[in-house]
Each structure stands twice: as structure tokens, then as C-alpha cells.
Amino acid sequence: MRSLPKEGSAVVLAFSSLFSKKVFEHVKVLLMGALLTIGRHTICSALRFIGLKREANFHKYHRVLSLAKWSALKASRTLLLLLISCFTSNKAPLVFGIDETIERRRGAKIKAKGIYRDPVLSSHSHFVKCSGLRWMTMMLLCKVSWAERIWALPFLTALAPSERYCNEQGRRHKKITDWARQLIFQLRRWLPKRLLIIVADSSYAVLDLLGALKDKVSFITRLRLDAALYSAVQPRQAGKRGRNRLKGKRQPTLKQKLDDASVCWQTITITQWYNQKNKQVQVATDVAIWYHSGMIPVEIRWVLIKDGEGKGEPAALLCTNTAMDAQQIIIYFIRRWAMEVTLKESRTHLGVESQREWSDKAIERTTPVLMGLFSIVALWATQLHQQQLLKPEHTAWYHKEHISFADAIAAVRSRIYKEANICTSTQNNDMIKIPKSLFDQLTNLITRAA
């Protein structure tokens, strides 16, 4: 089971230039093994599922992650270009999401781990801590035609070590906003001529970050209702002494604008509002300067949102591109929800958090590779869809309307198993006859298991 199906070969061969010839053969085996593995995604599990549990030189596969010379950054760029050419058009702006996630890990040899807030178990009233590794990930937020919805496709994931680890290593600790700025600058260097839109949650609504990115990308994030907003600076009078003013007159806060009768509200319909369709909301928007003492002022477009039915709490968004209209800002920001789905599916089907590597180099490479497998499955499934080999699973109790990631990875696994079942032997003892219905049932169970 070492040969790639022809649909996957076109995707995987794009990375061949990053590895030596011998290492790339091991990479292909590990890739197929990782896609077939159910449960813990370790190197040994990948070898078992690919049929190499008796491989004497199994240590060579471990060295692909721990010792082999290849650039994860170059692999991220290659994957990004594949995603852009497959799922986007040349004229449309590219929308990316950036977020951090915690990989729960324990052990004395996991040096870069720290104690962080558990985003899954914590709530507004209950704080839960966990030990693990913090990863910054960037995903392409685009519509996948055969899934008929927005998917978040990871292509760049970086380890953000804990403050304790940085102090022990004598390194300067970087905050998540510092990591975000570095990743976005790298993305800008890869795509110098494209219009880039970045969406993020409220953790990234920081003036230092927005000020550094305002001329490079359009940044959309949440805005506090009590943020200090100011009017634009009036033209300076000729001959007046003193330095130029950074801001104009202080404006009422967005919280005060909720009850201000002079604010002009507009009712708009959002075709896809999280888990709802054709959601009506009331919005008010304007341009202002966001400023704090000692910070670089940033001109933003704020969007104040109220539920049309009066159920949800009011919220506010900001965009550093003041020419963008309010409805488009909301639509772009809602795409961020797809990132949560991707993180969940990566843990369920691709074994994120189940790997057991402990060397520093292997840790830095394994999680980004597993996250990137999500995008590779999407690319592979696109080719299967063109051959009409990608269909949603239907049961008597659940009629699925759209193709999900579980359907995509099941189709990829089926193709790998089908390629492995091509046998040229003429000996009868190499073949076992079973009913086709039983074979189909077993194949469906193993390809859809998590």
C-alpha cells in the first residue's frame, strides 16, 4: 500500500522539491498512513495502517520529523498557492482568519508548554486552566463549491512558546499579537499584489497591531463598546505653532450610541448568519479615529450591530479599510466561525493532540503537518468530486444536505484502499472472496471512523 492514487499524486508531488528523493518516499508513506489512521496519530500507528508494522527500519520514518532537513515554511507557501489556485479567483480579495489554539500536552520533555485558559471548558463565569502548547494558525477562508459553504483551510501554523520557556532559553517572549503581526507580514511577502483581508477575534483588537498592519492588509475584528473614538483632525491653520494634532473631538462611546436617537440605523439581511439564514440585523456605521495615549492613532470604520428580533446582545466590529461597507464587513467576519469547525474536525479525524513526539524539532513540525492535512484532503476531494466520487452519507435518521469533511476524508481513504486492493497475483491463496455488501459495509465503517 505504498503507491498514491493518481488523484492524490498531483497534490502531493507539488511538495517533492522540498525533500530529498529518499526522504520524499518516506513522506508519501507517512502521508497515506496519517490519512488512514484512526485514533492516536503517531508514526507507529501510521505504519500499522499502511501495512508496515513489520518494517525493520521504522526509525527512518521518525527521522522525517525529528532530523530530516526540510523547510516547514516553504511547505506552507506551497500549500497556500495550491489552495489559492484551486478555490479562489484572480480578481476576488483573499480572506484569511488568524487564531490561536491550545494543544493539550503533558510531560517533562515538552519544554515549550505552558499553562493557558482552556477555551473549550471555560466560560464567562467559569475559568479552567490546562497544560499544553499554544499554536498560532492562519487559514484561508473561502467557499468550497462542492461543499456549498465557507471552509477554513489551514496552511501556516507556528508554535508560540510560553513565557516561562522563553525566560529559560534567554529569549524575548512574544505576545500573540506579535506572532500575528509576524505571520501576516510573511503572508504579505508571499502575496505582494493581492488584496488581503484578515479576520480575527477580540484578542487581536490592539492598537499596536492595527497600526502596524493598516497600510498592508484590511483587518476586521471586534471592537469594545467603550472604546475611545475621536473625530478626524481638522486642517491645520497656516502659521499656527505646535505639533500636528493626532485626533479631533472625542465622540460618544458605542454603548452610548445604542440609546442615541440621532444615530441612523439601517436594517439589512445577512444571507448566512452563523447557523441561520436570511438573518435581519440593524446596523449603524461611521468612520472614526481609535486612539489611546502613547499609541499610534488608527482610522477605522466601526459597525454597531443590533439583533433585529431583539434577542442577542449588541456587538461592534471594526475594519481598518474605511471604504468597505458595513454589510460586507459583517459577512467577512462571520467567515471566522469556520475556523472553529476546522479545529474541531482536525482533532476528531486528523489526531491533533494525540501525537506523542517529544523532541523539539518533531513537536514544531507534527502539529503544522496534521493541520495542513485538512487542506490536502480538501484539495484531494476536489479532484474526486470532478470524477463524481464524492457524495454525502445518507442514513434513515439523517439526511445530509452538504458534503462535510467526514465525507471528504472518507472518500480519500476509500481511494487509497482501492489502490491497495489492485492485485496482480494469480495465486488463489492471495484472494479471499466475501460478499460485496459485507465488503462495502466494512469499507464504509473504517473510512468514516474517527
Radius of gyration (Cα) for the chain, nearest Å?
A: 25
> Could you list the mean pLDDT of each consecutive 10-residue stretch along the chain, which spans 450 residues?
78 94 94 92 92 90 94 96 95 94 88 85 82 95 94 96 89 93 97 96 93 93 94 77 79 91 90 83 94 88 88 91 94 95 94 89 94 96 92 84 92 86 52 75 77
> Which segments of 118-208 are extended strands (E)?
129-144, 149-159, 196-199
The DSSP bridge partners found for residue 399 are 394
Burial tier of 14 (Cβ tally within 10 Å: 0-12, 13-18, 19+): middle
Q: State the cell numbers at 2.
A: 505504498
Q: State the cell numbers at 358.
A: 517529544
Alpha carbon distance 412, 417 (integer Å): 9
Whether residue 235 contacts residue 248, with contact meaning beta carbons closer than 8 Å, is answered with: no
Whether residue 283 contacts residue 222, with contact meaning beta carbons closer than 8 Å, is answered with: no
CA atoms within 13 A on the CB side of 267: 7
Q: What is the pLDDT of residues 359-381, one digit of tens each?
A: 999 999 999 999 999 999 999 99
Alpha carbon distance 196, 189 (integer Å): 11
For every residue of 56-105, DSSP letters joined together read: TTTHHHHHHHHT----HHHHHHHHHHHHHHHH--SSSPEEEEEEEEEEE-
The closest of 290, 315, 319, 314 to 302, measured between CA atoms, is 319
Burial tier of 194 (Cβ tally within 10 Å: 0-12, 13-18, 19+): middle
3-state secondary structure of 263: coil
Whether residue 338 contacts residue 395, with contact meaning beta carbons closer than 8 Å, is answered with: no
Confidence at residue 421, expressed as pLDDT on a 0 to 100 scale? 60
Alpha carbon distance 270, 283 (integer Å): 11
Q: Which residue has the cell 490519512?
A: 35
Helices (H) and strands (E) in the chain, counts: 14, 11
Please write down the long-range contacts of 193-198, taking CB distance under 8 Å and 24 or more positions apart: 194/93, 194/94, 195/93, 195/94, 196/93, 196/94, 196/96, 197/93, 197/94, 197/95, 197/96, 197/321, 197/332, 198/96, 198/97, 198/98
Backbone φ and ψ for 205, nearest 5 degrees, come out as -85, 70
Report the Cα–Cα distance between both ends of the chain, in Å, rounded.
Answer: 21
Specify the length of the chain in residues. Answer: 450
Q: What is the DSSP letter of 2?
A: -
CA angle, 245 then 250 then 255, to 5°: 145
CA atoms within 13 A on the CB side of 33: 22
Tell me the CA distances in angstroms from 154 to 27, 141, 148, 151, 315, one per residue in order. Answer: 19, 9, 18, 10, 27
Residue 353 falls in which region: left (phi positive, over 0), alpha (psi -120 to 50) or beta: left
Q: What is the DSSP letter of 251?
A: P
Q: What is the pLDDT of residues 23-41, one digit of tens each?
A: 999 999 999 999 999 988 9
Q: Which residues of 150-174 are buried (b: 16+ CB within 10 A; e: fewer)?
A: bbbbbbbbbbbbbeebbeeeeeeeb
| Element (DSSP H or E) covering residue 117 | strand 114-117
Q: What is the DSSP letter of 402?
A: S
Give pTM, 2 decimals.
0.92
